[in-house]
Structure 1
């Protein structure tokens, strides 16, 4: 009986040892997988202090887009409403791809307002533009991560990413005389309905006499249509595209010509 008891204890010990080894192996594999994800997106040394620091829990999706032969991989962040790729950004990229003869961004100075995930800014960079990509402070980290990841060693000009709250500290962040921007790009920026007057003022601030605004938006609410009418009153406008399946319009805006008093 004592021999049987000794064998049972030994067997149980071996089983516990094997279970422990399996658990340790599983934890090691999980740790390695997480490390590979973090390494793949090049975690910074000050990752704890940067909202764009890579994390396996920090993104809700990763999407791949193809425009003009370029592959753009976008991480969508859950940290901010604007850090999601919305339909108008995709449609504006399609428009620029199909109309590059008319709107050639090569060597042009471009600023994007409310860039979100950075899809439009990235494509503009890849098309050869000098790009300044802007958004609110809560979205700037993910924006910078996407822009740098998709343009590093691929771009003709190095992009800039700057914080910009509409009509707030514009003179401080972009002091006069501001750089001349050939194009002001914006996609789905009409969603903070309490700040539409500030958005209009920001459009006006950057739009110089020979600047071109390319604004794409999905019309969702009555306030969107009201803003559109105010935009038409503020600038000389042309509707460049109306995409029914996406409910997106693309509008060209330029500084209103000054009437000459006679």
Structure 2
């Protein structure tokens, strides 16, 4: 994705919160998989509005870190509920994240910033997250271990990691998912969020929301 995004390359996807507040998340017609809003991100975003989060009120003043943010959809939605958010991805995604922050700034009641974060680096962000949000990032074989290492490095003992992904059966995707969980389960307790706890409409049998908490 080119750093100088042009208007004709962008198109919005509307996200309507359950209380009617409307966001426009811009996607890019040209670029990598991080340029669009995937269904797994919407399912997780709607879970943030569920009873488990007191319809979003639980996010007030919480610190939220989004990894592999792409469009920044998840983090921006968390920020509309009053969270203090840092959305992160590779440098190529930074312009799109910044556009989406600007386009939705009137709806943001918390704080949000976009930062570059390469999972292959050993950077320690000056950010102590209450929540880490990840969606559909188990995609490339070379990024699985760096992603797990990054989750480990940036998680505090109190951090809750929420990871949503669409179950894919083509190519090497099932093996990547298995490998990811083999690595994660070495240092995290892993549980799945039941569909009954998710949004009444935005859920699917092939989209999973997983919760990770660090082992002591």
1:110 lines up with 2:64 in the alignment: yes
- Structure with the larger helix share: 1
Q: Is the 8 A contact 1:52 1:142 kept in 2?
A: no
Pick aligned residue for 1:125 from 79, 84, 100: 79
Q: How does 1:104-253 map to 2 (within 5 A)?
A: 104-150=58-104, 152-171=105-124, 174=125, 178-220=126-168, 221-222=173-174, 223-241=176-194, 245=204, 247-253=206-212
Pick aligned residue for 2:16 from 56, 66, 81: 66
> Which segments of 5 or more consecutive residues in structure 2 lack a partner in the other structure?
none
Q: Could you list the per-position Cα deviations for residues 133-162 of structure 1 after superposition, in whole angstroms to 9, with x for gaps in the alignment?
A: 001111111111012211x23322331100
Post-superposition shift, 1:127?
0.8
Q: Which has the higher contact order (CA 8 A, sep 6+)?
A: 2
- Partners of 1:204 and 1:253 lie apart in 2 by 10
**Superposition RMSD in Å:** 2.0
Q: Is the 8 A contact 2:76 2:108 kept in 1?
A: no
Post-superposition shift, 1:97?
1.0
Q: What is the aligned partner in structure 1 of residue 38 from structure 2?
A: 86
Matched pairs, number: 200
- Partners of 2:123 and 2:182 lie apart in 1 by 24
Q: Is the 8 A contact 1:52 1:145 kept in 2?
A: no
- Partners of 2:167 and 2:114 lie apart in 1 by 27
Greater CA deviation, 197-206 or 178-187? 178-187
Q: Using structure 1 for the length normalisation, give the TM-score.
A: 0.70
Rg larger in structure: 1
CA separation of 1:241/1:226 partners in 2, compared to 1, >3 Å: closer, same or farther?
farther
